[in-house]
């Protein structure tokens, strides 16, 4: 009688720990760069916002807690800058999305010259905001500005309009320059979204007798809702941190009419050497952007 020996199968050695270690080694450079260039500066700014410091000798820094934030709540200029920032972000977001979507529809119809139009509209996006600010300052500035010359030449106005010197016009002039520069960016995002809309749905709606406007409203726009939410978030964040165009065109004037949080932060930090207050303003800007991102995450338009 022969005894059959039971076959013993060896389990493969668990390699999960090894794979985890390799994974951490591979992501370590990226994590290190993030901590060094993103997380650490944010932490330093947050700590600086809780102190009074001129930005030179660190030993002169004094701890204030929330003193800088409480001082800002009673600062009239801060509230004016806050209001202007919100108006700027809201207005530019609405205009950029409308203009960008309409331009995307235009080039998506493959009309003659749409490729040239795409290149021309996107060209300002590649320009430096400083160059855009200088260009629009020359166009809108005083009697010799190109816009005033055109308006008076066409008989629309008899006297020049001081777009950058009149508090009722200045903020809208900066908004116009910003929309002109970044409308092409939104156009490309919406154009990419339009390419992803199933053509079968558009053709089926057209065969059912839907007009062009009805197709856009009931077929295209619902399909573009994820794209719209993303573009809106990008525009809102960009509007909240606007600085360069405003600073070049008006430096926050006239009479604080175009003062935004970023320009006020620059004045406090580099003009008055109040790094604590400037850091508090920076934290507020970041907090507003985070709130906008959270709202966008909670409001799921495409569901």
Write down the pLDDT at residue 45.
92
Write down the pLDDT at residue 20.
83
Write down the pLDDT at residue 15.
59
Q: Which of 257, 263, 262 is CA-nearest to residue 240?
A: 262
Q: Which of 239, 241, 240, 264 is CA-nearest to residue 252?
A: 264
Write down the pLDDT at residue 291.
93
Cβ-based burial of 296 (10 A; exposed 0-12, middle 13-18, buried ≥19): middle
Which sequence spans correspond to the domains of the chain?
86-257
Tell whether domain 86-257 is in CATH 1.10.3720.10. Answer: yes
Write down the pLDDT at residue 197.
87
Q: What is the pLDDT of residues 134-176, one digit of tens each?
A: 999 999 987 678 888 888 888 888 888 889 999 999 999 999 9
Residue carrying structure tokens 């495409």: 302
Tokens found for residue 261 = 């949080």
Write down the pLDDT at residue 218.
87
Report the distance separating Cα 230 and Cα 292, nearest Å.
11
3-state class of 4 per DSSP? coil
pLDDT beneath 70, residues of the chain: 1-16, 143, 300-303
Report the distance separating Cα 148 and Cα 224, nearest Å.
39
Strand partners, 261: none
Write down the pLDDT at residue 10.
57
Write down the pLDDT at residue 149.
87
Task: Give, in degrees to the nearest 5, the angle at Cα 185 between 181 and 189.
Answer: 160
């Amino acid at each position: 009688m022969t005894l059959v020996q039971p076959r013993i199968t060896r389990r493969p050695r668990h390699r999960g720990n090894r794979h985890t270690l390799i994974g951490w080694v591979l992501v370590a450079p990226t994590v290190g760069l993030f901590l060094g260039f993103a997380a650490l500066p944010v932490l330093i700014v947050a700590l600086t916002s809780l102190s009074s410091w001129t930005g030179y000798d660190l030993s002169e820094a004094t701890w204030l807690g929330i003193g800088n934030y409480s001082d800002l709540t009673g600062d009239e200029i801060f509230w004016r800058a806050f209001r202007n920032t919100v108006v700027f972000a809201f207005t530019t977001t609405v205009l950029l999305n409308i203009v960008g979507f309409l331009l995307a529809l235009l080039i998506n119809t493959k009309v003659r010259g749409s490729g040239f139009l795409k290149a021309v509209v996107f060209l300002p996006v590649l320009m430096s905001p400083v160059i855009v600010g200088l260009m629009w300052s020359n166009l809108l500035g005083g009697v010799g500005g190109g816009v005033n010359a055109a308006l008076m030449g066409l008989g629309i106005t008899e006297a020049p309009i001081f777009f950058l010197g009149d508090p009722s016009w200045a903020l809208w002039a900066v908004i116009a320059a910003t929309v002109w520069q970044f409308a092409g960016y939104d156009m490309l995002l919406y154009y990419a979204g339009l390419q992803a809309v199933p053509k079968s749905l558009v053709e089926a709606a057209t065969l059912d007798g839907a007009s062009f406007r009805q197709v856009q409203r009931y077929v295209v726009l619902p399909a573009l809702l994820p794209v719209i939410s993303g573009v809106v978030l990008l525009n809102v964040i960009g509007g909240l941190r606007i600085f360069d165009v405003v600073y070049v065109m008006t430096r926050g004037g006239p009479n604080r009419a175009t003062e935004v949080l970023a320009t006020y932060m620059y004045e406090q930090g580099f003009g008055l050497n109040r790094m604590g207050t400037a850091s508090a303003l920076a934290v507020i800007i970041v907090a507003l952007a985070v709130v906008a991102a959270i709202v966008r995450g909670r409001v799921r338009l495409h569901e």
